[in-house]
Amino acid sequence: MPELPEVESLRRGLEEFVVGQRVRNVEVLLGKIVSGRGTKRTNDESKVKNFCAKISGKKILSITRRAKNMMINLERGGMLLVHLKMTGQLVYKSNKDNSTVSGGHPIQLSDNKLPNKHTYIIFTLEDGVLYYNDVRQFGYVLYFDSIEEINKLGHFDDLGWEPLDEGFTLAAFTEKMKSKKGILKKLLLDQKVVVGLGNIYADEVCYEAGVRPDRKVETLSKKEIQKLYNSIIRIIPRAIELGGSSVADYLLADGSRGNYAHEHKVYKRGGKKCFKCGRELNKSEVAGRTTVYCGFDQK
DNA sequence: TATATTGTTACACC
DNA sequence: TGGTGTAACAATAT
Instruction: Give me the CATH number covering residue A198.
Output: 1.10.8.50
Query: Would the Cβ of A117 be found within 7 angstroms of any atom in strand C?
Result: yes
Residue A161 is assigned to a structural domain of this protein:
no
Angstrom distance, A243 CA to B4 C1': 27
Same domain, A109 and A41: yes
Q: How confident is the model at residue A253 (pLDDT cuts 50, 70, 90)?
A: low
The pTM assigned to this predicted structure is 0.89
Angstrom distance, A204 CA to B2 C1': 30
Same domain, A90 and A223: no
Angstrom distance, A182 CA to B13 C1': 17
Same domain, A23 and A106: yes
Give the phi and the psi of residue A11 in degrees, each rounded to 5. Answer: -60, -50
Higher confidence at residue A109 or residue A62? A62
Query: Would the Cβ of A108 be found within 7 angstroms of any atom in strand B?
Result: no
pLDDT at A275 over 80: yes
Same domain, A191 and A87: no
- How much is the pLDDT for A46? 84
Same domain, A145 and A29: yes
- How much is the pLDDT for A256? 52
Question: What value does the mean pLDDT take over residues A242-263?
Answer: 54
- How much is the pLDDT for A154? 84
Residue A159 is assigned to a structural domain of this protein:
no
- How much is the pLDDT for A244? 62
In this complex, which residue's CA is closest to the C1' atom of nucleotide B6? A86
Same domain, A9 and A87: yes
Percent of the residues in chain A that have a pLDDT greater than 70, as a whole number: 87
Residue A243 is assigned to a structural domain of this protein:
yes
Query: Would the Cβ of A288 be found within 7 angstroms of any atom in strand C?
Result: yes
Same domain, A139 and A17: yes
- How much is the pLDDT for A250? 43
CA separation for the pair A170, A20 (Å, rounded): 39
Under 8 Å between Cβ of A206 and A187 = no
Structurally, chain A folds into a number of domains equal to 2
- How much is the pLDDT for A207? 94
Q: Is A163 one of the catalytic residues?
A: no
CATH (domain of A144): 3.20.190.10
Q: How confident is the model at residue A106 (pLDDT cuts 50, 70, 90)?
A: very low
pLDDT at A162 over 90: yes
Angstrom distance, A133 CA to B2 C1': 28
Residue A164 is assigned to a structural domain of this protein:
no
- How much is the pLDDT for A249? 40
Domain that residue A204 falls in: 170-293
Strand B: which nucleotides have any atom within 7 A of a protein Cβ? Answer: 4-10
Same domain, A175 and A135: no
Active-site choice (A2, A5, A163, A213): A2
Residue A260 is assigned to a structural domain of this protein:
yes
Question: Sign (positive/negative) of CA torsion A130, A136, A137, A140?
Answer: negative
Residue A163 is assigned to a structural domain of this protein:
no
Q: Which of A153, A185, A204 is the last residue of a domain?
A: A153
- The β-bridge partners of A261 are none
Residue A162 is assigned to a structural domain of this protein:
no
Cβ neighbours of residue A173 closer than 8 Å, sequence gap 6 or more: A161, A194, A225, A228, A229
Residue A110 is assigned to a structural domain of this protein:
yes
CA separation for the pair A14, A293 (Å, rounded): 34
Nearest nucleotide by C1' from A37 CA?
Answer: B9
Angstrom distance, A89 CA to B13 C1': 37
- How much is the pLDDT for A124? 96
CA separation for the pair A78, A66 (Å, rounded): 17
- The β-bridge partners of A27 are A122
Active-site choice (A58, A68, A186, A212): A68
Q: Is A289 one of the catalytic residues?
A: yes
Under 8 Å between Cβ of A251 and A257 = yes
Same domain, A222 and A271: yes
Same domain, A178 and A79: no
- How much is the pLDDT for A260? 59
Query: Would the Cβ of A121 be found within 7 angstroms of any atom in strand B?
Result: no
Query: Would the Cβ of A85 be found within 7 angstroms of any atom in strand B?
Result: yes
Same domain, A21 and A76: yes
Lowest mean pLDDT among A73-82, A103-112, A174-183: A103-112
Same domain, A12 and A99: yes
- How much is the pLDDT for A109? 40
Q: Is A59 one of the catalytic residues?
A: no
Question: What value does the mean pLDDT take over residues A203-215?
Answer: 94
Length of chain A: 299
Q: Each residue of A116-151: pLDDT tens digit?
A: 888 899 999 999 999 898 888 889 999 999 988 888
Cβ neighbours, 10 Å, residue A99: 12
Q: Each residue of A47-97: pLDDT tens digit?
A: 899 999 999 999 999 999 999 999 999 999 999 999 988 888 888 888 875
CA separation for the pair A72, A17 (Å, rounded): 13
